[in-house]
């Protein structure tokens, strides 16, 4: 649409004013100066509890915004910042410390760290045993607030680390969730972010130490990890730069961990406390397959050229994963704010060493200076869309329920960097870390597509590499690993990673453009186009061995074998389930008497939640942490699940915690080779689409979740609880987990309700 210059300027001004007005309301709400009730009275909330569709308030009102971008606000001010004039930044690689078993069976950190040992049971138990809040001298109290326990993990056996001695942690990490340290930005020519604008992690126990880019952790099978996360944000929840909640649970997506370490069991913790997550590196099916750990492919690197065998099914090995905040009802704001990291798991076959020959190692492009986990030619790319306010600070609109879109597509929270590459093969681990934005990536050279190979979906190796010219759509939280061969290019050539997918609404993408169209860019979605520039050069410094150099003249030894793993067969299931994700819009997560959600949701959340889930055709529900929607009665039973998208006006990337499913079909619709029989943990449903997969649970029990990973949908409140029973008599996970209810004073428990349609023990037929 053509608009005279003045009109366009007026509209942008109007949009800006609307944003300021909304921000003012949010501030007043969060400071308790006004209430939702008053907003209703003034006619500023609609009946569904959304901010009224009024000029002067609604930044999405089309009349006000025809000429702006998907954020619904004026474009992020770029100032002098230009694309491809800042170098690529790797995720901040973390260094582990060695843990040892002390006389009490605890995992002791080195004395130099001054950390207390990690224990099977939470320190919350010690706090209770020492008299709780009633004892003013309780040595286990939160040192910042002097109320409640110092560890956020709930007390009692149900939240003790499962199989502690069997997976005793050997590698330790101490990280602090913290305000960002001074002097950091998304681009050298963009303003430094204020301490309250970005919340991310820094090494050690400290505050004001958050580092960009966010962390990368390298794990390996056979070496369980203990990750201690301090919440060192300010205790005052209004010190949040306008969005984000200073309460945290860290979900490790999608590692095979006990529920107490899954970070999504309604176990958020508060400023001043820590939470010990034990990342067990358990290989799935260890209780039923290869129990003697005799198969060489089921293994992890020993650090010295050899392997440590582990029990379990090598076809379940995982590689590219990530971890992110999962505070229910606030996940979108928090992850957007920088509360995420990536985690690579290394195994015998997927070693991260391209030269070591032992008949097990696939020798995928990576490097060779280190025994395992070389990153020289194996690079994590976390793609994340951001928006900035007029002063250049990170901006988020907390009133949206369809989804929030940024207009700057960043890689590792870096705007449009360039990366120097050698003319050889590279592996890229691409994560969609956006809130609501789907992406679709290709590589462009001279505006034509560069072929590449697809090797992993959601961290799971595909049976054989798949040749592609562009990736499929990639929903939020999906991970695609690809191999790009730059050897056909000459020194000086430039190749671009390009986003082809236009999206102007939080509900779903519009359509993919051609490479030529995308490279030219479009006004209606500034994220379409190149986001990363590869410059082919003759020499690069090693990341794994700084100070040494790789040269283009060195003979490359990496390989991409024709077979990467073996197929797990689809078999007749013990039972089937159907889960429908939709927009019922007439249910609430709030208690009708108290008006409160479980756990508490923001004042700004709608009265009726738009996004809902139905199990086996029964009633629609939005999230309540005290309600179990699906119950898995015992491990080992093969089930076939069908996910249905209840509408055509939107799409949802649906994430199942803890286990991967083998994708069987998309109903009558076509299914790409990158999905057919491929293991995944996030499925885009497609508009009005269905997807069916095979799933089998095992090894751990407790409370997990299944939800939409458009985190805005998730927060209002397309999420449900899953209960896994271990079937081990006497184990705390043999029965249903009591719901923990975290508070600053400590955790209390309630008895959950169970939806009958989700509990096979109560279903008599079918």
Q: Which residues bind Cu ion (CB under 5 A)?
A: 652, 708, 710, 713
How far is 679 from 462, CA to CA, in rounded Å?
Answer: 8
Taking the least distance from each CB to Cu ion, the nearer of 303 and 649 is 649
Q: How far is CA 597 from CA 590, 707, 715, 740, in A?
A: 4, 17, 11, 14
How far is 710 from 689, CA to CA, in rounded Å?
Answer: 16
What residues contact 144, with CB distance under 8 A and at least 6 apart? Answer: 235, 271, 272, 273
How far is 40 from 38, CA to CA, in rounded Å?
Answer: 5
Residue 628 and residue 754 in contact, taking contact as beta carbons nearer than 8 Å: yes
DSSP symbol at 158: G
Taking the least distance from each CB to Cu ion, the nearer of 403 and 459 is 403
Taking the least distance from each CB to Cu ion, the nearer of 81 and 685 is 685
Residue 423 and residue 485 in contact, taking contact as beta carbons nearer than 8 Å: no
Taking the least distance from each CB to Cu ion, the nearer of 232 and 710 is 710
Nearest approach in angstroms of CB 606 to Cu ion is 15
Nearest approach in angstroms of CB 436 to Cu ion is 8
Taking the least distance from each CB to Cu ion, the nearer of 162 and 710 is 710
Phi, psi of 333 (to 5 degrees): -60, -45
How far is 292 from 272, CA to CA, in rounded Å?
Answer: 43
Nearest approach in angstroms of CB 713 to Cu ion is 3
Residue (of 169, 194, 165) closest to 181 by Cα position: 194
Taking the least distance from each CB to Cu ion, the nearer of 177 and 435 is 435
Nearest approach in angstroms of CB 400 to Cu ion is 13
Nearest approach in angstroms of CB 718 to Cu ion is 5
* Maximum C-alpha span of the chain: 77
List the structure tokens of 734. Answer: 């043999």
Residue 521 CB-half CA count within 13 A: 10
Residue 136 CB-density burial (10 A; 0-12 exposed, 13-18 middle, 19+ buried): exposed
Q: Give bridge partners of residue 428 from the DSSP assignment.
A: 379, 482
Nearest approach in angstroms of CB 524 to Cu ion is 22
Residue (of 285, 320, 277) closest to 107 by Cα position: 277
Nearest approach in angstroms of CB 71 to Cu ion is 19
Taking the least distance from each CB to Cu ion, the nearer of 650 and 704 is 650
Taking the least distance from each CB to Cu ion, the nearer of 299 and 710 is 710
Taking the least distance from each CB to Cu ion, the nearer of 151 and 714 is 714
Residue 343 and residue 322 in contact, taking contact as beta carbons nearer than 8 Å: yes
Nearest approach in angstroms of CB 586 to Cu ion is 17
Nearest approach in angstroms of CB 632 to Cu ion is 23
How far is 529 from 228, CA to CA, in rounded Å?
Answer: 39
Taking the least distance from each CB to Cu ion, the nearer of 443 and 654 is 654
Nearest approach in angstroms of CB 581 to Cu ion is 7
Taking the least distance from each CB to Cu ion, the nearer of 588 and 711 is 711
How far is 709 from 715, CA to CA, in rounded Å?
Answer: 10
Residue 747 and residue 731 in contact, taking contact as beta carbons nearer than 8 Å: no
Residue 650 CB-half CA count within 13 A: 25
Residue 259 and residue 265 in contact, taking contact as beta carbons nearer than 8 Å: yes
Nearest approach in angstroms of CB 661 to Cu ion is 18
């Amino acid at each position: 649409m053509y608009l005279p210059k003045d009109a366009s300027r007026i509209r942008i001004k109007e949009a800006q004013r609307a944003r300021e007005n909304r921000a003012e309301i949010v501030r007043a709400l969060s400071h308790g100066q006004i209430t939702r009730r008053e907003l209703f009275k003034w006619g500023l909330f609609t009946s569904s509890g959304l901010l009224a569709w009024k000029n002067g308030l609604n930044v999405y009102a089309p009349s006000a915004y025809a000429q702006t971008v998907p954020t619904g606000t004026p474009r992020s001010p770029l100032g002098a910042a230009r694309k491809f004039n800042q170098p690529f930044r790797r995720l901040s690689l973390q260094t582990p410390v060695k843990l040892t078993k002390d006389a009490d069976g605890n995992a002791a950190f080195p004395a130099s760290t001054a950390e207390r040992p990690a224990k099977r049971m939470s320190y919350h138990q010690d706090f209770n045993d020492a008299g709780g809040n009633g004892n003013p001298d309780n040595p286990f109290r939160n040192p910042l607030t002097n109320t409640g326990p110092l560890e956020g993990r709930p007390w009692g056996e149900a939240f003790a680390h499962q199989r502690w001695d069997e997976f005793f942690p050997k590698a330790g990490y101490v990280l602090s969730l913290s305000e960002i340290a001074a002097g950091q930005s998304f681009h050298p020519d963009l303003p430094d972010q204020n301490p309250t604008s970005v919340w991310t992690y820094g090494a050690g126990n400290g505050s004001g130490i958050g580092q960009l880019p966010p962390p990368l952790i390298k794990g390996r099978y056979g070496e369980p990890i203990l990750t201690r996360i301090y919440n060192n944000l300010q205790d005052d929840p209004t010190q949040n730069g306008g969005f984000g909640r200073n309460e945290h649970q860290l979900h490790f997506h999608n590692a095979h961990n006990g529920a107490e370490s899954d970070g999504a069991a309604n176990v958020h913790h508060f400023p001043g406390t820590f939470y010990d997550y034990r990342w067990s590196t358990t290989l799935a099916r260890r209780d039923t397959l290869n129990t003697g750990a005799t198969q060489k492919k089921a293994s992890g690197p020993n650090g010295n050229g050899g392997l440590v065998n582990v029990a379990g099914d090598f076809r379940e090995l995982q590689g590219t994963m990530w971890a992110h905040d999962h505070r229910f009802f606030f996940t979108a704001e928090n992850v957007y704010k920088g509360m995420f990291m990536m985690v690579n798991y290394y195994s015998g076959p997927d070693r991260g060493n391209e030269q070591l020959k032992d008949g097990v190692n696939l020798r995928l492009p990576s490097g060779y200076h280190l025994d395992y986990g070389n990153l020289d030619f194996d690079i994590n790319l976390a793609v994340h869309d951001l928006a900035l306010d007029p002063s250049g600070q990170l901006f988020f609109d907390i009133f949206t329920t369809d989804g929030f879109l940024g207009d700057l597509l960043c890689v590792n929270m870096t705007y449009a960097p360039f990366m120097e590459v050698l003319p050889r093969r590279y592996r890229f681990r691409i994560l969609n870390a956006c809130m609501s934005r789907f992406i679709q990536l290709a590589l462009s050279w001279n505006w034509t597509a560069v072929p590449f190979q697809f090797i992993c979906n959601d961290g799971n190796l595909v049976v054989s590499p798949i040749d592609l010219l562009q990736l499929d759509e990639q929903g939020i939280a999906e991970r695609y690993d690809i191999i790009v061969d730059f050897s056909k290019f000459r020194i000086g050539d430039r190749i671009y990673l390009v986003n082809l997918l236009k999206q102007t609404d939080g509900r779903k993408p519009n359509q993919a453009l051609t490479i030529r169209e995308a490279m030219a860019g479009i006004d209606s979605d500034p994220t379409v186009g190149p986001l990363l520039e590869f410059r082919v050069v003759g020499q690069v410094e090693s990341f794994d061995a700084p100070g040494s150099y790789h040269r283009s003249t060195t003979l490359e030894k990496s390989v991409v074998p024709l077979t990467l793993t073996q197929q797990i067969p689809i078999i007749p299931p013990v039972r089937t389930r159907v889960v429908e994700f939709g927009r019922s819009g007439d249910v609430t997560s709030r208690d009708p008497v108290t008006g409160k959600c479980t756990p508490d949701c923001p004042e700004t959340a709608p009265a009726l939640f738009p996004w809902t889930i139905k199990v086996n055709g029964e009633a629609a529900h939005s999230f309540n942490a005290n309600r179990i929607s699906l119950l898995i009665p015992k491990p080992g039973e093969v089930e076939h699940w069908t996910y249905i998208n209840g509408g055509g006006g939107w799409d949802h990337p649906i994430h199942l915690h803890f286990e991967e499913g083998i994708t069987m079909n998309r109903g009558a619709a076509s299914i790409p080779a990158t999905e057919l029989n491929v293991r995944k943990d996030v499925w885009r449903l497609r508009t009005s689409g269905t997807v069916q997969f095979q799933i089998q649970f095992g090894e751990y029990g407790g409370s997990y979740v299944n939800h939409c990973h458009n985190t805005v949908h998730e927060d209002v409140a397309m999420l449900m609880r899953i209960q896994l029973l271990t079937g081990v008599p006497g184990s705390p996970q043999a029965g249903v987990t009591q719901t923990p209810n975290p508070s600053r004073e400590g955790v209390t428990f309630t008895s959950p309700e169970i939806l009958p349609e989700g509990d096979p023990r109560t279903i008599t037929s079918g």
